[in-house]
Amino acid sequence: MTTEAPAALAMVTIDCADPSKEAEFWAAALGWEVTYADDNYGMASDGTLRLGFGRVEDWQRPEWPNPAGTKQFHLDLAVDDLDAAEEQLLGLGATKPTDQPGDTWTVLLDPDGHPFCLTKAANWS
């Protein structure tokens, strides 16, 4: 028996301080394009998937590590080579916090401070 879903996910939108900068970073990190950017909103897309970035007045960046669990969200990115991906993402404007969860995951922060994780693509199969 097949049940048709009443909705489809069109985009994930992330609160931030600088939507244009976030859209540029994530488009470069994922090999996508910036499809829209101004002072209040930015969007990156691969033509099918979309990440949006909305400016929030007085937005406060999440903390890492954050034992209170208020990091807001995080993306897990599958990569072939952890070291090479880390180097490229740092070159795009990510930063690496000193507190890391272990050897199979690397936590980086995007330009507005959102944490995201890198792990080997082989770990997802």
- pLDDT, mean of residues 19-26: 98
Which pLDDT value is given to residue 103? Answer: 84
Which pLDDT value is given to residue 2? Answer: 62
pTM over 0.95: no
The answer to whether residues 9 and 50 touch, using CB atoms and an 8 Å cutoff, is: no
pLDDT digits 0-9 by tens, 66-125: 877 776 778 999 999 999 999 999 999 999 999 998 888 899 999 999 999 999 999 887
Helix orientation angle between 19-30 and 82-92, rounded to the nearest 10 degrees: 150
Q: Which residues pair with 78 in a beta bridge?
A: 119
Which pLDDT value is given to residue 62? Answer: 87
